[in-house]
Amino acid sequence: MDIRRTGIKSGRALPQGMGAVKEPPPMQASTSQQDQASPRRFLPSGPLRGRIRVAGDKSISHRSVMLGALAVGETRVTGLLEGEDVMATAAAMRAMGAQVDKVGDEWRIHGVGVGGLLQPQTALDMGNSGTSTRLLMGLLASHAITATFTGDASLSKRPMGRVIEPLSRIGAQFTPSPGGRLPLMMTGANVPVPIEYRLPVASAQVKSAVLLAGLNTAGITTVIEPVPTRDHSERMLRGFGAELEVEEVGGERVITVRGEADLRPQTIEVPGDPSSAAFFMVAATIVEGSDLVIENVGLNPTRAGLVEVLRQMGAQIEELHRRDVGGEPVADLRVRHAPLTGIEVDPAVAPSMIDEFPVLFVAAALAQGRTVTRGLEELRVKESDRIAAMAAALTAAGARVEETEDGLIVDGTGGEPLRGTSNARVKTHLDHRIAMAMAVAGLASKDGVEVDDTRPIATSFPAFEPLLDGARA
């Protein structure tokens, strides 16, 4: 195995303080991305074989920590994703009074109760985590405390207006940077007002922010969801004891939560993240001779769109030992190499696989014929503009890609390896999913693909590179 690596790995110092202060904390920018980049060339691979287990689901991990911090008593969590994003959430909850500690393989969270959050002494550094930022803004919106949110260079470019607007209706006040971005200061409402809010775009983060704000708001808070998005918040709020109802009315989901909730601590086993498993599903599909089992993958129907899309393209993905874990469907996935055929992806599946499109574009680049994707405007405002970033990265690696306003059109090689990047690095734009997607592209290339920085991978999947190298060994 030929692996070329330069640069260093760097960790991020996360805030740990807690307590109350009279003056709001100062606004400051995060410096977590100022260290030296760590490029790596991912070279052509032999078959991926054996059994692997991917990191715990990031969405469930975030919510386990947050809801555990709002429950009275001790919540215990196994399988928690220990990437930088979730650790930023844990540090923020510590800063607001909760105890969050790891004991052996288990995380133990001693909550303060709904309404019991304390004002943090220092700014809350969210690193690269948009989920942490938007959901915590929802939590704080109905608590009469002031907090400042900062983030790295990538997160500081992401607009927060989509959560500021509904949370302002509840009574929270915001002082964001120009364009509704971080650094951002907010003060929660003294007397929060329950609202009915119709989501203008399909966003699980906005939905969750409003529902979390409703926990400490007297009365009924309602979210109307024209297009279903991942439902981890609804499942987990119910599990923690919140009075939450979901109805179908006129083809829309109407979600209500009763405020002044009394949450009960839980014991949670976090399933494997389908967004992390996605990279190995595509890698095993496009690398000849592969036969890989990915254990314990969460298959929540609001998250499993990629599995069905890959099957439509011809992928061989078999579900083994399907079961329920903590109210979430889970299975081991056996993935074998198979030739793929391009398809037109139904825009309706986008919310169930929005984070998986970067690696789907890689699969499309190796398929026979044309793959067309539409309705992906949301990808423009992720950690990077993922439509533009993947168009540029795949083109640099030799793929035939056309960028449109709301997606990509990819003409595949019919299974022939991509050219690769012999004398250039693809730009990841500090985006972990761009880095991992192009790592997978390198496995099915002639010259390999060099990404400009592998450090962002640690935000969501610290074990990605060792797992990939082990599966190829």
> Going residue by residue through the chain (473 aa), what tens digit of pLDDT does each one get?
333 333 323 333 333 333 333 334 444 444 344 468 999 999 998 999 999 999 999 999 999 999 999 999 999 999 999 999 999 999 999 999 999 999 999 999 999 999 999 999 999 999 999 999 999 999 999 999 999 999 999 899 998 999 999 999 999 999 999 999 999 999 999 999 999 999 999 899 999 999 999 999 999 999 999 999 999 999 999 999 999 999 999 999 999 999 999 999 999 999 999 999 999 999 999 999 999 999 999 999 999 999 999 999 999 999 999 998 877 899 999 999 999 999 999 999 999 999 999 999 999 999 999 999 999 999 998 989 999 999 999 999 999 999 999 999 999 999 999 999 988 899 999 999 999 999 999 999 999 999 999 999 999 999 999 999 999 97
275 annotated binding-site participant? no
Q: How far is the C-alpha of 236 from the C-alpha of 266, rounded, in Å?
A: 10
169 annotated binding-site participant? no
5 annotated binding-site participant? no
59 annotated binding-site participant? yes
Class of domain 58-268 (CATH, top level): alpha beta
Q: Where in the chain is CATH 3.65.10.10? A: 40-56+271-472, 58-268
Q: How far is the C-alpha of 443 from the C-alpha of 43, rounded, in Å?
A: 6
Angle at 79 between CA 451 and CA 274, to 5 degrees: 50
CB atoms inside a 10 Å sphere around CB 73:
13
Active-site residue flag, 273: no
CATH number, domain 40-56+271-472, options 3.30.470.30, 1.20.140.10, 3.65.10.10, 3.90.550.10: 3.65.10.10
Catalytic residue chosen out of the listed positions 355, 431, 447, 453: 355
Between the alpha carbon of residue 55 and those of residues 133, 276, 404, 447, 467, the distances in Å are: 21, 7, 33, 29, 10
154 annotated binding-site participant? no
Q: How far is the C-alpha of 465 from the C-alpha of 176, rounded, in Å?
A: 36
DSSP string, 277-310: HHHHHHHHHHSTT-EEEEEEEE--TTT-HHHHHH
433 annotated binding-site participant? yes
DSSP string, 419-441: ---SS-EE--TT-HHHHHHHHHH
Tokens describing residue 426: 């693809």
Residue 284 main-chain phi, psi, to 5 deg: -70, -30
419 annotated binding-site participant? no
* pLDDT value of position 21: 33
pTM of the model: 0.86
Cβ proximity of 286 and 93 under 8 Å: no
Three-state SS for 315?
A: coil
Cβ proximity of 287 and 415 under 8 Å: no
Q: How far is the C-alpha of 413 from the C-alpha of 411, rounded, in Å?
A: 7
Provide the phi-psi class of 332: left if phi over 0, else alpha when psi is between -120 and 50, else beta: beta
